Structure 1
Amino acid sequence: MNLLKNINEPSDLKKLTKDQLPQLCSEIREFFIDKILKNGGHFSANLGVVELTVALHFIHDFKIDKLIWDVGHQAYIHKLLTGRKNEFDNIRKLDGLAGFPKMSESEYDHFGTGHSSTSISAILGMAEAAILDQKEHKHIAVIGDGSLTGGMAFEALNNLGTSNANVLVIINDNQIGIDPNSGAINHHLNTINNTLNLFKTLGLEYEGPIDGHDLDGLISSLEKNKTVRSPKILHIRTVKGKGYTPAEKAQTEWHSVSYVKIDPTKSMADNPQPLKFQDVFGHTLLELAEKDQRIIGITPAMPSGSSMKILMDAMPHRVFDVGIAEQHAVTFSAGLAASGKRPFCSIYSSFAQRAYDQIIHDVALQNIPVVFCIDRAGLVGADGPTHHGSFDIAYLNAIPNLTIISPMDEHELRNAMYWAADFTDGPVVIRYPRGRGSKKEYKNKIQPLEIGASRTLCEGNKIAIISVGEIGIAVQKSLNRLSDQNQVCHIDARFVKPIDQNKIINTLQSFEQIITIEESCLIGGFGQQIKMIAQDHNYAGKITNLGLPDQFIEQGTRAELRAKYNLDEDAIHQLILSIIHKK
Structure 2
Amino acid sequence: MADVLSGVASPSDVRALPEDALPGLCEALREAIITTCGRVGGHLGASLGAVELIVALHRVFHTPQDALLFDVGHQAYAHKLLTGRRDRMHTLRQANGIAPFLDPRESPHDALAAGHACTAISAALGLLSGRRQLGHSGHVVAVVGDGSLTGGLSFEGLNNAGGSPLPLVVVLNDNQMSISANVGAIPALLRTRSARAFFESLGFTYLGPVDGHDLGALTRALREAKASSRPVVVHALTKKGRGFPPAEADEQTRGHAMGPYEWRDGKLVRSRGGRPTYSEAFAQVLGDALERDPRVVAVTPAMLEGSALTGLKARFPDRVHDVGIAEQHAVTFCAGLAAAGAKPVCVIYSTFLQRAYDQIVHDVCLPGLHVVFAVDRAGLVGADGATHQGAYDVSFLRPLPGLTQWAPMVGDDLAPMLATALQSGGPSVLRFPRGTLPDLPPELGHAEPEVLRSSPAASVGPSGLPKPAPSREPPGTPALATQDTSPVPGARWLKRVPGARLTLVTLGPLGLSALEAARSEPEWSVLDARRAWPLDEAALLEAAEGGHVVVAEEGTVRGGLGSAVLELYAASGLSPRVKLLGMPDVFLPHGDARVQRTQLGLDAAGLRRAGRALLEEESR
Question: Shorter-chain TM-score: which interval?
Answer: over 0.9
Deviation, 1:136, is: 4.1
Does the alignment pair 1:446 with 2:484?
A: yes
Equivalent position of 2:493 in the other structure: 456
Deviation, 1:17, is: 0.7
Equivalent position of 1:473 in the other structure: 512
1:459/1:486 contact within 8 Å kept: no
The residue correspondences of 1:402-421 to structure 2 (distance < 5 A) are: 402-421=403-422
Equivalent position of 1:566 in the other structure: 601
Equivalent position of 1:81 in the other structure: 82
Equivalent position of 1:316 in the other structure: 317
1:407/1:413 contact within 8 Å kept: yes
Give the whole-Å Cα distance in 2 for the aligned partners of 1:118 and 1:148: 11
Give the whole-Å Cα distance in 2 for the aligned partners of 1:581 and 1:206: 70
Q: Judging changes above 3 Å, is the alpha-carbon distance between structure 1 residues 488 and 146 closer, same or farther for their aligned structure 2 residues?
A: same
- TM-score normalised by length of structure 2: 0.89
Deviation, 1:130, is: 2.6
Equivalent position of 2:458 in the other structure: none
Deviation sequence 1:422-451 (CA, Å, 0-9, x none): 221x10111111111125999714152344
1:76/1:99 contact within 8 Å kept: no
Deviation, 1:479, is: 2.9
Equivalent position of 2:461 in the other structure: none
Give the whole-Å Cα distance in 2 for the aligned partners of 1:99 and 1:257: 14
The CA RMSD over aligned residues, in Å, is 2.2
Q: Judging changes above 3 Å, is the alpha-carbon distance between structure 1 residues 116 and 5 closer, same or farther for their aligned structure 2 residues?
A: same
Equivalent position of 1:431 in the other structure: 431
Q: Judging changes above 3 Å, is the alpha-carbon distance between structure 1 residues 511 and 192 closer, same or farther for their aligned structure 2 residues?
A: farther
Aligned to 1:306, the other structure's residue is in SS state coil
Deviation, 1:577, is: 4.3
Aligned to 2:382, the other structure's residue is in SS state coil
Equivalent position of 1:303 in the other structure: 304
Equivalent position of 2:107 in the other structure: 106
Give the whole-Å Cα distance in 1 for the aligned partners of 2:439 and 2:487: 20
Equivalent position of 1:514 in the other structure: 549
Equivalent position of 1:542 in the other structure: 577
Give the whole-Å Cα distance in 2 for the aligned partners of 1:385 and 1:505: 35
Does the alignment pair 1:503 with 2:503?
A: no
Aligned to 2:314, the other structure's residue is in SS state helix
Equivalent position of 2:215 in the other structure: 215
Deviation, 1:366, is: 0.2
Give the whole-Å Cα distance in 2 for the aligned partners of 1:224 and 1:262: 43
Q: Please, which moves more after superposition, 469-478 or 338-347?
A: 469-478
Deviation sequence 1:319-360 (CA, Å, 0-9, x none): 111100000000000000000000001110000000000000
Q: Report sequence identity in percent.
A: 38
- Show structure 1 runs of 5+ residues with no match: none
Q: Judging changes above 3 Å, is the alpha-carbon distance between structure 1 residues 319 and 46 closer, same or farther for their aligned structure 2 residues?
A: same
2:380/2:391 contact within 8 Å kept: yes
Deviation, 1:62, is: 0.9
Letter in 2 for 1:68: L
Aligned to 2:433, the other structure's residue is in SS state coil
Equivalent position of 2:224 in the other structure: 224
Q: Please, which moves more after superposition, 1-10 or 492-501?
A: 1-10
Letter in 1 for 2:242: K
Give the whole-Å Cα distance in 2 for the aligned partners of 1:421 and 1:506: 30
Q: Judging changes above 3 Å, is the alpha-carbon distance between structure 1 residues 320 and 239 closer, same or farther for their aligned structure 2 residues?
A: same
Equivalent position of 1:41 in the other structure: 42
Aligned to 1:407, the other structure's residue is in SS state coil
Give the whole-Å Cα distance in 2 for the aligned partners of 1:533 and 1:15: 66
1:280/1:414 contact within 8 Å kept: no
Give the whole-Å Cα distance in 1 for the aligned partners of 2:613 and 2:367: 48
1:326/1:352 contact within 8 Å kept: yes
Equivalent position of 2:476 in the other structure: none
Q: Judging changes above 3 Å, is the alpha-carbon distance between structure 1 residues 211 and 443 closer, same or farther for their aligned structure 2 residues?
A: farther
Letter in 1 for 2:496: E
1:53/1:78 contact within 8 Å kept: yes
Q: Judging changes above 3 Å, is the alpha-carbon distance between structure 1 residues 262 and 137 closer, same or farther for their aligned structure 2 residues?
A: closer
2:71/2:145 contact within 8 Å kept: yes
2:38/2:262 contact within 8 Å kept: no
- TM-score normalised by length of structure 1: 0.94
User: Which of 554, 565, 570 pairs up with 2:589?
Assistant: 554
Deviation, 1:532, is: 1.6
Deviation, 1:569, is: 2.2
Aligned to 2:436, the other structure's residue is in SS state coil
Deviation, 1:573, is: 2.8
Letter in 1 for 2:558: I
Deviation, 1:253, is: 6.3
Give the whole-Å Cα distance in 2 for the aligned partners of 1:180 and 1:364: 32
Deviation, 1:307, is: 1.5
Equivalent position of 1:346 in the other structure: 347
Aligned to 2:36, the other structure's residue is in SS state helix
Give the whole-Å Cα distance in 2 for the aligned partners of 1:336 and 1:350: 23
Deviation, 1:570, is: 2.2
1:45/1:145 contact within 8 Å kept: no
Deviation sequence 1:96-119 (CA, Å, 0-9, x none): 110111011111111111000000
Q: Please, which moves more after superposition, 394-403 or 567-576?
A: 567-576
Does the alignment pair 1:254 with 2:255?
A: yes
Give the whole-Å Cα distance in 1 for the aligned partners of 2:147 and 2:222: 23
Q: Judging changes above 3 Å, is the alpha-carbon distance between structure 1 residues 507 and 191 closer, same or farther for their aligned structure 2 residues?
A: same
Give the whole-Å Cα distance in 2 for the aligned partners of 1:580 and 1:94: 34
Q: Please, which moves more after superposition, 566-575 or 409-418?
A: 566-575
2:146/2:172 contact within 8 Å kept: no
Deviation, 1:581, is: 6.6
Equivalent position of 2:453 in the other structure: none
Give the whole-Å Cα distance in 2 for the aligned partners of 1:547 and 1:554: 15
Give the whole-Å Cα distance in 2 for the aligned partners of 1:229 and 1:127: 13
Q: Please, which moves more after superposition, 55-64 or 369-378?
A: 55-64
Stretches (4+) displaced over 4 A: 260-264, 439-443, 577-583
Q: Please, which moves more after superposition, 415-424 or 119-128?
A: 415-424
Q: Please, which moves more after superposition, 149-158 or 10-19?
A: 10-19
2:38/2:261 contact within 8 Å kept: no
User: Which of 483, 490, 494 pairs up with 2:526?
Assistant: 490
Q: Judging changes above 3 Å, is the alpha-carbon distance between structure 1 residues 145 and 410 closer, same or farther for their aligned structure 2 residues?
A: farther
Q: Judging changes above 3 Å, is the alpha-carbon distance between structure 1 residues 262 and 46 closer, same or farther for their aligned structure 2 residues?
A: closer
Letter in 1 for 2:36: K
2:491/2:528 contact within 8 Å kept: yes
Give the whole-Å Cα distance in 1 for the aligned partners of 2:130 and 2:75: 26
The residue correspondences of 1:32-431 to structure 2 (distance < 5 A) are: 32-144=33-145, 146-193=147-194, 197-250=197-250, 252=253, 254-259=255-260, 273-424=274-425, 426-431=426-431
Give the whole-Å Cα distance in 1 for the aligned partners of 2:403 and 2:148: 30
Give the whole-Å Cα distance in 2 for the aligned partners of 1:512 and 1:553: 32
Give the whole-Å Cα distance in 2 for the aligned partners of 1:211 and 1:406: 48
Letter in 2 for 1:479: A
